[in-house]
Structure 1
Amino acid sequence: MTPTIATTPASAGVQLGDIGEPQRPPPRLGPGVGRGGAGTWPRHLAILAVTATLLLALFRQDVRDVARIWWTSTTFGHCLFIAPVVAWLIWTRRREVAALRPVGWLPGVAIVAAGGFAWLLGDAGSVALARQAGLLVMVEGAVVACLGPAVARGLLFPLAYAGFMIPLGDGLEPPLQDATVAMVLPMLHLAGVPAVVDGVLIHAGRYWFEVAEACSGAKFVLAMLAYGALVANVAFRGWRRRALFLLACVVVPVLANAVRAFATIYAAHLTSVEAATGFDHIVYGWIFFAVVMAALMAGAWRRFDRAPDDPAFDPARIGTEPRMTLHPAVAAALVLATAATFPAWSAAVAARAAPLPARIDLPAVAGWQRAAINGMPWQPVYPAADHYLYGRYRQAHGRAVDMGVAVIAGQREGRELVGYGIGVLGEATRWTRVADLPAIDGGAAVRIVAAGADGRPVERVVATWYRVGGTLTGSGTRAKIATVRDKLDGGTQVAVAIHLSATGPDAVAAIRAFRAALGPVDAAADRIVYPRSS
């Protein structure tokens, strides 16, 4: 039987260099796209590269800050891989994007302005997350301004996926701690281990275990969510399957983390806490969740319905010729001028900060006397405060309350009143948050615990108030909002934190009694900062 040799017509477009590579049909051209744009791509890309580089240089402090978080934080270590993934996503779309015609586009500058305003709000409120998100929006606005709406739509998923570079999600830790505790306790009871819960503390068998922030599973949930979003886009066509897969990427790690915590406690019950926690670190970090991720992928494998070489989008369906086009160099100049407005605005706001007195003191409180601090001390942490005061007050019958005051003029990054490792619990403190309590006279209350000198736990209740501008609140979020308002409205920019704390079974009652003798907290804060004018 003579073999048949098939020939390929020249019109099919197959070239010698294409042999052995799967062929993809050339993209169809639609409105607003065309090969005439091919010659303009080098110019537009060069202008975009220069613009993005100058933007990152202008906001280099934010770039350094976010890079340090990626490199040092175990929760956000996965962010290091997002930029290479975005580059790969753009590369996989190169044929479709090449069929589009890049144009400079004025509305892209408006996106830069929106990002710049978000950055300004973050800078005013000392919210690094808002600054970093604003910078990302500015860079992506530059892409829209220099390449146009058609290219931006073609690159919509890579641009959106770049949002995972923002270290967002540490707020998940407290609710995930509570969820882990709620799931672990019945598993311990089912295994026959006597266990009781006190907030985030579990007393099981011979040991106390703390379900700390690092044990909440937040880091793996965030990493799985980023990975799941990529898989959902690459491997699925329909939104229903994508949504279900993303839901599994959240639920499965939460359940797996509860199993891991249970296994650690159960192993400690059978052996020792040293052996169990050592085993936990190895399994949690290198094996356990790798197995969970592999199992999740294996379960979804048969549902994949998109081939790896399928076109990411159809250029013919991108859209029509845009209006308000610009020369790309003009668009780039407008992007940089707009972005530069906001650091200048921030500097002008910071220059209006009111000065503080050279010295301030704790107030005299009727019915309470200053006393020496003994026993196991606790102090709030404000390393960058302009003034920091801490002292103990005691009533005649022996009830004692500690008062801590921190005053900051002109908050900024590294000098904020509310932030990670600032306030009730410092970054290296031996105290642990057990549970939030009902507010005490408007102040946020929390119960904390630490091991005493005799090994027994020592408990303390702490109530916190923030005085920013004309606002008094116990909420850190509201304090941030008040900080932004005070700065942009031309206020004094003076911020005060007041902490009242006590130990013992009547700690809450003692704090209430001291607060009543102190008087309104906002007036007390004003008297502390400006005693003569009050």
Structure 2
Amino acid sequence: MNERAIPMDRMPLTDLTGWRGHLIALGVVAFAIIALFFADVRTMVSIWWHASTFGHCLFIPFLIAWLVQQRLPGLRQLAPVAWVPGLLWLAAGALAWLLGAAAGVAMVRHGALIVMLQGATIALLGPAVARALIFPLFYAFFMVPFGEEIVPPLQLVTARLAMLLLDLSGVPAHMEGIFITTPTGYFEVAEACSGAKFLIAMTAYGALVCNVCFKSWSRRAVFIAGALSLSVLANGVRAFATILVAHLTTVDAAVGFDHVVYGWVFFAIVMAIVMATAWPFFDRKPGDPWFDPRALQGAVRGSSHTGGVAGGALAMIVAAPLWLAATAATADPLPPVLTLPQVQGWTRTDARQAYPWTPRFDGADHFVIGRYQGAQGQVVDLAIAAYARQDEGRELVGFGQGAADPDSEWVWSSPARAPAYGRGEQITAPGPVVRHVVSFYGIGGGAPSGSKPAVKLATMKARLLGQDQRAVALLVSAEDAEGRPSDAAIAAFLNDLGDVRVLADRSVGIR
């Protein structure tokens, strides 16, 4: 029988062999992932565009394309294969998306999309190509908007660094949480001043430099540790300099100074310092190969037909949303009216708050708030929010939800005392008015908890298994006043209120 080779440019589009076939299969699976989870893709891109903390993510796809382009000469020497074990990574991504969707954690869903795309690449191009592209594949994780969790601790770190430098410079100052008071004025280390955006962007930039400029893992570790440490220290210096300028001149002059050094200009200066310091230690020369194709290419176990692997990939990505839809519980009804409880030894009062406070719970089916006065004159606020079930935008815990509404003048300032099963926070409003808040969350009649991760896990379990999804938040709060500490008032109220779980269950109609 005579055989005749078919040129690449005349190969039928249905042929799934060679680079063209494997790339077609990968394109189909990648398109299916993006289309099926487009709501998450759109949310992620919207965060890049609107949140300055994640503006650097807009450049990550272009950097990945550049990283792949740099590796093209070596990639052309490799032969792609369909590799069944690669589907395990894709399956892990599908499972992660399912768990993230059930728990209502956007960051997990966004990360799962990246894992699914990575898994599709590994499964449809094979282990040799995946190893050649290991850093571009890893770098795709920087497209995920993550890091909001580090904002509160970074606010405290920045405030403490500023206080240390103020003490060393002889400027009299007092710190209360993230607020610093000097003879000139009252300064807040706000979320935007925490340095989180610099630290997150520096992490992405540092990882890129480690791959492009270094071969030694020890040098990479020293570089990334130094870059991140300098980012935190430099932000503390910036906060100190702003307060010092205000002390020496005026607050208006300090604001003008901060606007000059703040933003990408400040980040560019820090990057320049980092690169100038690290330049003499670069050990990767321009033109050095990224990998050795001969060392990567070899016999592959578990290879299969490309179409079959692509079909398996499509089945896996469809299974995740189907499972969530199939196990969605019918919401149990809430009581038609939610009322505040009678608490022995306390009476309802219309006494005016020093500064208006209302916690935020978007989409709550019921929400009530009221003030109580104790026999010894203590005043406490109790707020209750109830949900028949949680969905996107209707979540018990999440960004902007809870004690400090980001659209109000109240800001988180530090942790506060709370029972072991509650969450304590100190929030501050102009004045300043200081308020302590203790929060309790309950899911489906379970034991109340102040842990947000525990609430997410309980929500995930309820949604995955079709269990009772009724959810409630109880917030007990008091203002700090001279001679009447908020912690004592909250403790007395909780003692007279009794078992918090009973009130939580009654609020959603379980008892």
Contact 2:380–2:476, Cα closer than 8 Å, also in 1: yes
1:471 to partner: Cα distance? 3.1
Counterpart pick for 1:222 among 200, 209, 223:
200
Q: Which has the larger radius of gyration?
A: 1
Counterpart pick for 1:152 among 120, 130, 140:
130
Match of 1:135 in 2: 113
Match of 1:480 in 2: 456
Contact 1:128–1:413, Cα closer than 8 Å, also in 2: no
1:359 to partner: Cα distance? 2.1
Q: Helix, strand or coil for the counterpart of 2:52?
A: coil
The alignment yields a C-alpha RMSD, in angstroms, of: 1.7
What is the TM-score when the length of structure 2 is the normalising length?
0.93
Per-residue CA deviations over 1:114-173 (Å, capped at 9, x if unaligned) read 111111111111100111111110111111111111111110010001111111112221
Counterpart pick for 1:86 among 61, 64, 85:
64
Ranges in structure 2 where 5+ consecutive residues have no aligned partner: 1-14
How far apart are the structure 1 equivalents of 2:329 and 2:457? 20
1:447 to partner: Cα distance? 1.6
Per-residue CA deviations over 1:60-89 (Å, capped at 9, x if unaligned) read 000011111111111111111111101110
1:441 to partner: Cα distance? 5.6
Equivalent position amino acid for 1:446 in 2: E
Match of 2:7 in 1: none
Contact 1:402–1:502, Cα closer than 8 Å, also in 2: yes
Equivalent position amino acid for 2:359 in 1: P
How far apart are the structure 1 equivalents of 2:128 and 2:332? 49
Between 231-240 and 466-475, report the one with greater CA deviation. 466-475
1:269 to partner: Cα distance? 1.0
Match of 2:241 in 1: 263
Match of 2:278 in 1: 300
Equivalent position amino acid for 1:47 in 2: A
How far apart are the structure 2 equivalents of 1:373 and 1:422? 26
In the alignment, structure 1 residue 459 sits paired with structure 2 residue 452: no
Counterpart pick for 2:477 among 487, 495, 501:
501
1:390 to partner: Cα distance? 0.9
1:305 to partner: Cα distance? 1.5
Match of 2:139 in 1: 161
How far apart are the structure 2 equivalents of 1:435 and 1:525? 26
1:515 to partner: Cα distance? 1.3
1:354 to partner: Cα distance? 2.3
Contact 1:234–1:308, Cα closer than 8 Å, also in 2: no
Identity of aligned residues (%): 48
How far apart are the structure 1 equivalents of 2:302 and 2:323? 28
Alpha carbons of structure 1 residues 186 and 314: separation in structure 2 relative to 1, 3 Å: same
How far apart are the structure 2 equivalents of 1:323 and 1:394? 73
Match of 1:444 in 2: 423
Match of 1:233 in 2: 211
Per-residue CA deviations over 1:470-513 (Å, capped at 9, x if unaligned) read 13111111111111122223321111110001123332122122
Ranges in structure 1 where 5+ consecutive residues have no aligned partner: 1-36
Alpha carbons of structure 1 residues 393 and 299: separation in structure 2 relative to 1, 3 Å: same
In the alignment, structure 1 residue 324 sits paired with structure 2 residue 302: yes
How far apart are the structure 1 equivalents of 2:155 and 2:415? 13
What is the TM-score when the length of structure 1 is the normalising length?
0.89
Q: Helix, strand or coil for the counterpart of 1:488?
A: helix
Per-residue CA deviations over 1:24-73 (Å, capped at 9, x if unaligned) read xxxxxxxxxxxxx9971011111111210111000000001111111111
Match of 2:84 in 1: 106
Alpha carbons of structure 1 residues 282 and 121: separation in structure 2 relative to 1, 3 Å: same
How far apart are the structure 2 equivalents of 1:419 and 1:288? 30
Per-residue CA deviations over 1:371-422 (Å, capped at 9, x if unaligned) read 2252322111012111111111223443221111111122122111101110
Counterpart pick for 1:527 among 484, 506, 509:
506
Counterpart pick for 1:77 among 28, 49, 55:
55
How far apart are the structure 2 equivalents of 1:286 and 1:160? 25
Per-residue CA deviations over 1:432-470 (Å, capped at 9, x if unaligned) read 22221222363111122212xxxx311111110011131
How far apart are the structure 2 equivalents of 1:349 and 1:166? 27
In the alignment, structure 1 residue 68 sits paired with structure 2 residue 43: no
In the alignment, structure 1 residue 392 sits paired with structure 2 residue 371: yes
